[in-house]
Amino acid sequence: MKVISTDKAPGAIGPYSQGYTVGDMVFTSGQIPIDPATGEMAEGIDAQTEQSCKNVMAILEAAGSGADKVIKTTCFLAEIADFAAFNAVYAKYFTSKPARSCVAVKDLPKGALCEIECIAKL
Catalytic residue among 53, 75, 102, 114: 102
Question: Does the annotation mark 102 as catalytic?
Answer: yes
**Exposure string over 40-49, b if 16+ CB within 10 A, otherwise e:** ebbeebeebb
Residues in the chain: 122
Residue pair 57/36 in contact (Cβ under 8 Å)? The answer is no
Residue pair 119/27 in contact (Cβ under 8 Å)? The answer is yes
Which residues are known to be catalytic?
102
